[in-house]
Amino acid sequence: MSFRSAVITFPGSNCDRDMAEALAKVSGSAPLRVWHGDAELPEKLDFIALPGGFSYGDYLRSGAMAARSPIMKAVIAAAERGVPVLGVCNGFQVLTESGLLPGALMRNASQNFICRTVALKVENNQSLFTGGYEAGETIHIPVAHHDGNFFADEDTLDRLEGEGRVAFRYLESCNGSRRDIAGILNQAGNVLGMMPHPERAIEPEHGGTDGRTLFENAVHGLVHA
């Protein structure tokens, strides 16, 4: 059984190729490439990835335009049917702007673009994406963003924590995110948004392979399902 995944490319996406490479390497089958203007997704997808980048030049707000592009209606419908959706960096911003995940990603508190490898704590290892990690494990994944400062009101933050939906937390001062949140899950657990780039930590040559576990778990978890 081959793994059918799709990587969505918006105008200004720039991590779509890295995402496709990561999925191809881990799953053994190349993802389908989908353009933002398409109205429909390929059939029978096992996995959808929204890559990093600067879709629509970050006009209005990061992810705001992409979240309202034609393909996102299909992505939202697929997510609601339970298809796993991973949004990384700009993909996370698109997920919050589209309402698939709560909160918003604001300008980094330092106002600086942050580009370095950061230490993360795996808070929830019960999801499709994070099941390959140990609970509380420290992993190292690169970040590269200007708008990664996660904001949600206190009630929403309490709900996310209470429902175990904080997937990853920064273990070091990064971008000013509320409660150091680096990645969150939707209520059903099939949508993950995260600012760090797991697709940039796949091969030893990347400086680390901590991101590979996420893709391996998602791919194998699905094939065994």
Partner 1 sequence: MKVHIHVSLKPGVLDPQGRAIHHELEALGFAGVNDVRAGKLIELDVADDTSDDDLDQMCRKLLANMVIENYRIEKLETA
CB of 53 to partner 1, least distance (A): 19
Q: Cα dist. 71→75, 122, 215, 220 in Å?
A: 6, 31, 23, 26
- Asked about 199 being catalytic, the answer comes back as yes
User: Which x/- pattern over 178-217 shows residues binding partner 1 (rule: CB under 8 A)?
Assistant: ----------------------------------------
Selected range binding partner 1 among 59-67, 131-139, 163-171, 212-220, rule: CB under 8 A: 59-67
Stretch binding partner 1 (CB under 8 A), from 36-44, 107-115, 134-142, 182-190: 107-115
Distance CA 11, CA 2 (A): 29
Q: Which of residues 154-183 bind partner 1 (CB under 8 A)?
A: 176
| 43 vs 154, beta carbon nearer partner 1 | 154
Q: What SS3 state is found at 166? A: strand
Task: Dig out the tokens for 77 from the structure.
Answer: 């419908």
Q: Rule CB under 8 A: is residue 135 a binding residue for partner 1?
A: no
68 binds partner 1 (CB under 8 A): yes
Angle of the 90-98 helix axis to the 70-81 helix axis, nearest 10:
80
Answer whether 32's CB lies under 8 Å from 39's CB.
Answer: no
Tokens read off for 116: 């370095």
Which range of residues in 36-44, 84-92, 149-157, 166-174 is near partner 1 by CB under 8 A?
A: 149-157
Rounded CA gap, 156 and 102, in Å?
8
Q: Which of 36, 145, 197, 206 is catalytic?
A: 197
CA distances for 153 relative to 38, 149, 182, 184, angstroms: 34, 13, 16, 15
Give the nearest distance from C-beta 223 to partner 1 in angstroms.
36
* CA–CA gap between residue 146 and residue 143 (Å, rounded): 10
Among candidate residues 89, 145, 174, 206, the one labeled active-site is: 89
Q: Which residues are catalytic?
A: 89, 197, 199
Residues that bind partner 1 (CB under 8 A): 60-61, 64, 68, 96-97, 102-104, 106-111, 149, 151-153, 176
